[in-house]
Amino acid sequence: MNQREKEAYLREYAVLKASGKPFFPYIIVKDGVMMIVVVGVIMLLSLLLGGELTAKADATTTTYAPRPEWYYFWAFELLRVIKPPYLVSLAAVGVPTIAMLLLFLLPFYDRNPERHPLRRPIATTAGIFVVGAMFFLSYLGAEAEPPSQVNIGAPPAVEEAGGATMLKWDAGRRLVAQSGCGGCHKIGPNGNDGPGPPLTEIGDRLKEGAIRETLINPTQPMPSFANLGADQLDKMAFFLASLKSSGEAEAHTGSGAEGVGDDPAGGEATDTDGQSGGGY
């Protein structure tokens, strides 16, 4: 803003100030009335439509998936998009802090006297990008299924077998969900896309015995599930082995020895290409 524009601005400001309305009580009363109207509308909608109530808190559950309110879905999804652990602090604290600083410092670095959006292409483009990114991330956050659940239907072969096979498959599905596998792996619509590989079609690459062996002796940083016991490991391996692109599964049940026996390498975690599969 040059000297001539500054003088014109000060003259216009003096005219508007002389003909304007005082902050107190005019603005205070106006804002107060508007706040009462907004709170009244919210209370009326709550009485007419009812408030959303979730299940009672249960300290013993292992499948609870905390989710933020809808207006924080964009930040929630941002933590899922930025995968490397050393960048988590940047996503959780750094990005919101930088955005707030840019807003506070806006009057100091944006001295352009133009106010029409078409005459400020950089500011307009940046604003559209930020708002668009927040809408997109909010949509992804709203659509994301909880990582502590596995919402996958049983393969046709398992459903046809029914009985003990179906019970074993469903028990394995719940064990995988409760064991936190979704924290690092994508399983159908659930889980996080990293740092581990997706497990949605893990049955195409690893047989049941290899999966069981990997659960016992995984590659770091994946934890070992050996302390779950043979029966639980069998159920988890059976369920994971049923995750195939064709949707087919070997409909059989059995003990831990059966799961290991499916591995042609004698229990060594080996994929279908013959390569060592110490981790998923």
Q: What is the reported pLDDT for 184?
A: 82
User: For the segment 46-55, what is each residue's pLDDT rounded down to a tens digit?
Assistant: 888 877 666 6
Q: What is the reported pLDDT for 132?
A: 92
Closest CA to 211 of 154, 277, 149, 155: 277
Kindly write down the DSSP assignment for every residue of 21-78, as one continuous string.
Answer: --IIIIIHHHHHHHHHHHHHHHHHHHHHH-----PPP-TT-S-------GGGHHHHHH
Q: What is the reported pLDDT for 31?
A: 92
183: tokens are 């924290």
Q: Which of 26-40, 176-190, 208-222, 249-263 has the highest mean pLDDT?
A: 26-40
Q: How many CA atoms lie within 13 A of 52 on its CB side?
A: 3
Residue 251 has pLDDT above 90, yes or no: no
User: For the segment 169-228, what is each residue's pLDDT rounded down to a tens digit?
Assistant: 888 888 888 887 887 888 887 877 777 888 888 888 888 888 888 888 888 778 888 888
Rounded-to-integer distance, Cα 211 and Cα 217, Å: 10
Helices 163-178, 230-241: crossing angle, 10 deg rounding: 100
Query: pTM score, two decimals?
Result: 0.54
Q: What is the reported pLDDT for 266?
A: 36
Average pLDDT in the chain: 78
Rounded-to-integer distance, Cα 63 and Cα 61, Å: 6
Q: Which of 163-167, 219-223, 260-264, 275-279 has the highest mean pLDDT?
A: 163-167
> Which backbone phi and psi does 32 adopt, to 5 degrees?
-65, -45
